[in-house]
Amino acid sequence: MDRLCIHSITNKPWSLETLIEKYIESNIPAVTIWEDVIEGHGARQAGDILEKSELKVVSYCRAGFFPDIDAVKRQETISRNKRMLEEASLLGAPLLVLVCGADPGQSLQQSRDQIKSGIEAILPFAENLGVKLAIEPLHPMYADTRSAINTLANANDLAESFDSEWIGVAVDVYHVWWDPELKTQILRCGRNGNILAFHICDWNVPTEDLLLDREIMGKGCIPVKQISKWMDEAGFTGYREVEIFSNRYWAQDQDVFLREIVTAYHKIYSIN
């Protein structure tokens, strides 16, 4: 349990206060905060509430979305990313996760160039605040609008191009499980000290929604245990973050859902 973290969005129906209470009750040591759960509070107040709780804040989700054919909009996105870095700092989150973005009105290469420029623009700001940036490669089915960074190799190339300890990679099993190069790229990421986060869930078969039908680990076709072993081999010792977006589970009793998550986690990581 000491490495279990849950993304607030996994229990989307719960408020920040409820999440904290339920996770503490269930001996879950850590949380990753999504923007929506702190909306009513603002980052400073949410940061105070989290500091008083015993939960560790692992990261803040999610910034990025750099590409746009409109240069004015690209500039607005840079400002939004800087604001989110400040919020991460106020929340006590040492990491901001980047969903890099893509604009279908231009080539993927143009989107990739704009992602690189966007990260360049915010990196000094991140370093100043002491908040790291994690590039999360997204499954290629999202290459139209959500991310032009689609494999762990792409993410590794991009992270390495900065040569900065303030930027690395988030490995999310949902996005990378299919990749024949996965083990090689996880080990490369570890060798270069670039693994900053590990997100777990499962792929429902058949999947009903490509965004909002994620499954609990062990109930789909992703070899979560095998991938976790590669992460260990790569030297990753951070939190295993449960990130499940699911219309089905959000419509159910969240206490039951949370218990299922904890049981699944115990089973995969052989905790008695």
Residues in contact with Zn ion by CB under 5 A are 172, 199, 243
Q: Residue 69 Cβ, how far from Zn ion at the closest point, in Å?
A: 26
Distances (CA, A) of 135 to 61, 114, 260: 11, 14, 29
Q: Are strands 240-242 and 202-203 parallel, antiparallel or unpaired?
A: unpaired
C-alpha dihedral sign at 103, 107, 112, 117: negative
DSSP three-state, residue 60: strand
Q: Residue 198 Cβ, how far from Zn ion at the closest point, in Å?
A: 9
Q: Residue 174 Cβ, how far from Zn ion at the closest point, in Å?
A: 7
Q: What amino acid occupies position 120?
A: E
Q: Residue 18 Cβ, how far from Zn ion at the closest point, in Å?
A: 22
The half-sphere exposure of 86 on its side-chain side, counting CA atoms within 13 A, is 8
Q: Residue 170 Cβ, how far from Zn ion at the closest point, in Å?
A: 6
Tell me the two tokens of residue 38.
Answer: 């702190």
Tell me the two tokens of residue 259.
Answer: 């218990």
Select 66 or 245, whichever has its Cβ closest to Zn ion.
245
Select 172 or 202, whichever has its Cβ closest to Zn ion.
172
How many Å apart are CA 56 and CA 63, to the nearest integer?
20
Select 215 or 243, whichever has its Cβ closest to Zn ion.
243
Give kind and range of the element (H or E) at residue 6: strand 4-7
Select 132 or 199, whichever has its Cβ closest to Zn ion.
199
DSSP state of 103: -
Select 5 or 16, whichever has its Cβ closest to Zn ion.
5
Select 74 or 264, whichever has its Cβ closest to Zn ion.
264
Strand partners, 15: none
Residue 34: left (phi > 0), alpha (psi -120 to 50), or beta?
beta
